[in-house]
Amino acid sequence: MNKEKKSGSSRRDFVKTTALAAAGFMIVPRHVLGGKGFIAPSDRLVIAGVGAGGKGASDLTGFASGGKADIGFLCDVDDRRAAGSVKNFPKAKYYKDWREMFDKESKHFDAVSVSTPDHNHAITTLAAMQLKKHVYVQKPLTHDIYEARILTEAAVRYKVVTQMGNQGASSDGSRKLMEWYNAGLIGDVHTVYCWTDRPVWPQGIAWPATKSDIPKELNWDLWLGTAPQTDYIDKLVPFNWRGWWDYGTGALGDMGCHLVDAPFRVLGLKYPTDVECSVGSVYVDQFKRGYFPESCPPSSHVIMTFNSAKQNNAEVKMHWMDGGIQPARPQELGPDEIFGDGGNGVLFIGTKGKMLCDTYGKNPRLLPASRNAEINVPATLARVPGQEAGHYTQWVDAAIAGYGKQEVSSDFSIAGPLTEALLMGNLAIRGFDVRKANASGNGFTYPGRYKKLLWDGPNMKITNFDEANQFVKREYRKGWTLGA
């Protein structure tokens, strides 16, 4: 009898063990069964691209180049711009309206790349996050300060992996600058200069009086999206929209995310406390300054005050210069040395020295150049493999891993406040053109000019010039809402 019990027990154990072994065999990851180099479908990211031409095309190529992402869907309002991506990703299904794509295909993709004109970033991105999709958004993150705050909060609420397309955030150069500063090589920083030769598109001009025919390949209504209804004008699409406030954010919005990012990281900056500016003018006749409030100015010099979290909240003055304006060359810079990369650059001025870099934080160096031979600061910050190119694959890997599992260089907790700061600088630039008719009916006054604007960052409000607050949050065109 004991023998029979033992025998029965052995048989049951054998069956149980065999069943467990079979079950274990069935759940072996497919990448193991597929052999070296095989990536299981569960370890791949399916991306829907909203904006498939220009920068959108290069973004999609960047995601696909890492080998772990599939471009499953494409969306663009302009068939001409999308043609290259349609050819490069022949298996991707193509749409013109991202809303239709989201409604019909949301179960079939994991993440969304947004590369549209600035004025449509927020509405597309928030809709994607509400579907629990990871998002990669071109810079600047949004057109308005309010939108940036909404997206920053939404990323946490919906627990999605986010990244803004300022690739320099993943560069070794930015990390070297942080390590040198942390090692005390230049002491406490009190002044930063950032400059660019942008705009490289028309600005400071009147809106064309003559409308043009809408190209048959372009859905003009969808391109306008949240912006006011207006006639189509020639050359606005695909690039020159950047110089018009209804769609773009000027040179500061375009290049600020690439140049101001490094000082933001190095000094631990967040919201500015105040801003002042001067802007270039266009004269249309003798002593007659042109008034073109719809267009960004041809050049500007913006000065923002920050409190540095890494310097016991000590003040830092950040100068932004565009339109080819540059700060005075440092005395430590040799007469034949290039200042920044020529057209763009960032200069840190500290109590013990100065350091300089190019766009994306590239080519960091101390001034004078002789000091660079003495640098012996160990690398303490993790590098991103591939640097700028790795900005794409870093986001793909983090999205596959899931929310909170892997770090990315420019998630919305960083990109949101950075974008807010830049757009706050634009409040001063736009406030420069706010005008009021004189009581006499003869001429105008410009109450926003030649003054410092005080900023309440947490509440997103200028406290001493209320007229500038109209630019914190704009009214969307009827039929378009930010579903916050």
Amino acid at 191: T
> Does the structure show a pLDDT above 60 at 17?
no
pLDDT band for position 375 (50/70/90)?
Answer: very high
DSSP 3-state of 321: strand
Q: Which residues pair with 348 in a beta bridge?
A: 192, 355
> Does the structure show a pLDDT above 90 at 414?
yes
What is the model's pTM? 0.91
Average pLDDT over residues 302-317: 96
pLDDT band for position 441 (50/70/90)?
Answer: confident
Residue 349: DSSP 8-state:
E
pLDDT tens figures, 214-231: 999 999 999 999 999 999
Name the burial class of residue 319, with classes exposed (0-12), middle (13-18) and buried (19+) by CB atoms within 10 angstroms of its CB: middle
pLDDT at 51: 98
> Does the structure show a pLDDT above 70 at 135?
yes
Average pLDDT over residues 22-43: 43
> Does the structure show a pLDDT above 70 at 122?
yes
pLDDT tens figures, 198-215: 999 999 999 999 999 999
> Does the structure show a pLDDT above 60 at 11?
no
Average pLDDT over residues 332-346: 96
Start-to-end CA distance of the chain, whole Å, equals 73
Task: Check: CB of residue 126 under 8 Å from CB of residue 157.
Answer: no
Task: Name the more confident of 28 and 208.
Answer: 208
Name the burial class of residue 80, with classes exposed (0-12), middle (13-18) and buried (19+) by CB atoms within 10 angstroms of its CB: middle
Task: Check: CB of residue 375 under 8 Å from CB of residue 185.
Answer: yes
DSSP 3-state of 45: strand
pLDDT band for position 400 (50/70/90)?
Answer: very high
Could you tell me the sign of the dihedral formed by the alpha carbons of 62, 114, 230, 150, in that order? negative
Q: How many residues does the chain have?
A: 484
pLDDT at 84: 98
pLDDT tens figures, 72-91: 999 999 999 999 999 999 99
pLDDT at 483: 81
pLDDT at 329: 97
pLDDT at 355: 98
pLDDT at 374: 87
Measure the CA dihedral 399/403/407/408, to 10°: 50
Average pLDDT over residues 14-35: 37
At CA 402, angle to CA 400 and CA 405, rounded to 5? 115
Q: Give the percent of the chain with pLDDT over 90.
A: 89
pLDDT band for position 484 (50/70/90)?
Answer: low
β-strand 162-164 against 134-137: which pairing, if any? Answer: parallel
Give the chain's mean pLDDT: 92
